[in-house]
Amino acid sequence: MRDFVREEKLFRAIGGVPEGLVEEAMEPRVPRRPRPSPIRLAAMAAAFTLVAGVGIYQILPRMGGANAGGNGIREPGSATFMSYAGPALPLTVVDGPEGLPAERKVTWDFGQTADAQANSLYAVEVTDTTVITNDGAEELNITIGYPVTASLSEQEALPTLTVNGERLETSLLWGESGSGGLWENPRLESWAQYKEALEDGSYLAEAKKEAPALEQTVTVWELTDSTAPAVDTSRMAPTLAIGFQVDEEETQVFTLGFNGGSFGENGKRQYDYFVPQKGERKQRRLLVFLGEAPKEYTMEGYENGSCEKPLEGVSAKMSAFTTTLGRLLDQLVAEELTQWQEGVQERLEGTQAAVRKMAARILAPKAEMQYNGYVLEELFSYATVAQRVVWSTGEVSIPAGESVTITACYPKKPSYDFACTADAGRQDLRGWDLGTRLGSNLAFGKITARLENCQHLELAGQNFGFELAKGVTQVELEPETDYYYMEVRLKEES
């Protein structure tokens, strides 16, 4: 059995030591159900304290996920980068008959990179045109979907769709986050992983499902009007800690706005946060109980986050209310998005649905990552910054015996290797690739690839068949070939 006092002091002092090394040095007790150690909770709190200072959307994409992806293993006949941006994927029919005849032409326009400095090739403009033919005797009314790789915080990565030159009104289908890890989602960090996720149609099928309502009743404790005495902030960081006891077999605890915490024996918990100083951003502090809420609690003030030296005059008001878990999460997501960015309405429902799906997954009885200390900031930020495949969908009518031309236009970021890579010869390379048929139920015949405004570039590797030196910038592809790639760099000045 662990010494709770010893563990508490270790937790407060441990800082950035890797969790695995710390727990390996401590004799573990056997828990009744997996739950986070104090070390893990401290790490989460430290990470989100940092995030709060610089903005959730700026730091977290670099900490993991498809954006930070590639496994570094070069697959034969493909381009693999440390940061994989995902392929240009084909249009599909989301609702309607499969196997409609189609032709496709994909253009990468490098015009905006013409004045780029070395190593600064960034997004290019992709124009992906699909012509679908209705060879039947009756008019077809279908829902089409065009997929791109994006996160819920990257609205600018989504395409504009037109049908026969007219703007198509679209809605979004957000796939599961593609960063694996804590939430056990499919990884999207290489072509092979995209193929595994999208080939059988299950990824799109999951995206089409409604998010669970999460109608379980929760009891919410909210701490407001936190106060602390005036102190020398170079020596002290006034901290408020709240303690209670729960039945860990019956109750799940979610937190929002806390900087640290500790678990003791018999369900004893303590969570703490730094009392905001004058002028600091206000933040909601919530303890959410799914199951029976504690009957009583203690509230103590301390000189700093170690919670060792008491400090008089630290207090907060406590209030409690009940609601459903789904309603609470939706409300908090809306607050979180509007706090950090403007113009979020277009992706609000997608973010709320993503958070509810993730919450349902981790609360499932057989969830591998089930534990008793859920940090809501982590769930919100992960749902927001993780890369996904997202379909822009819209209704299209095709008269009998006729065709329609559907065009998707969007900026496409490159794949690349980090500057610290051991292979210095690849630091200036940028990659773009193409999935010819992956995830689509159209019957593609002719597929064409084209490069525009590429006079300042050279191809270091490819399987398209372009020959820039000879002016061959348009090629017809083999529809049976699933994957095409190109590695691009700026020409050296002569």
pLDDT in tens, 110-124: 987 655 554 456 779
Q: How confident is the model at residue 238 (pLDDT cuts 50, 70, 90)?
A: very high
Burial class (CB in 10 A: 0-12, 13-18, 19+), 205: exposed
What is the number of other CB atoms lying within 10 angstroms of the CB of residue 309?
11
Nearest Cα residue to 252 out of 381, 367, 335, 386: 367
pLDDT at 372 over 60: no
Average pLDDT over residues 396-421: 91
pLDDT tens-digit readout, 331-371: 999 988 776 665 566 678 888 998 998 888 888 765 554 44
Those residues whose C-beta lies under 8 Å from the C-beta of residue 241, and which sit 6 or more positions away, are 270, 271, 272, 299, 300, 301, 302, 307
Q: Is 182's pLDDT higher than 60?
A: no
Q: Is residue 326 within 8 Å of 184, Cβ to Cβ?
A: no
pLDDT at 73: 38
Q: Which residue has the higher pLDDT, 56 or 250?
A: 250
Band of pLDDT at residue 186, cut at 50, 70 and 90: low
419-474 tens-digit pLDDT: 766 566 777 889 999 999 999 999 999 999 999 999 999 999 999 999 999 999 99
From residue 37, alpha-carbon distances to 125, 182, 267, 285, 412 in Å are: 47, 15, 13, 21, 41
Q: Kindly tell me if the per-residue pLDDT of 412 is higher than 70.
A: yes
Lowest mean pLDDT among 69-78, 287-296, 397-406: 69-78
Question: What does the pLDDT read at residue 343?
Answer: 54
Q: Which of 66-80, 394-408, 480-494 has the lowest mean pLDDT?
A: 66-80
Q: Give CA–CA dist 448/30, Å, rounded.
A: 60
Q: What pLDDT shows up at residue 200? A: 93
pTM, 2 dp: 0.77
pLDDT score of 116: 54
Report the percentage of the chain scoring pLDDT > 70. 75
Give the model's pLDDT for residue 42.
42
- Report which listed range, 131-135, 179-183, 353-357, is most confident: 131-135
Average pLDDT of the residues in 213-225: 97
In the structure encoding, which two tokens stand for residue 109, read together? Answer: 């326009």
> What is the average pLDDT value for the chain, to the nearest integer?
80
Average of per-residue pLDDT across 46-56: 38
From 304-318, 458-472, 480-494, the region with the lowest mean pLDDT: 480-494
Give bridge partners of residue 373 from the DSSP assignment: 253
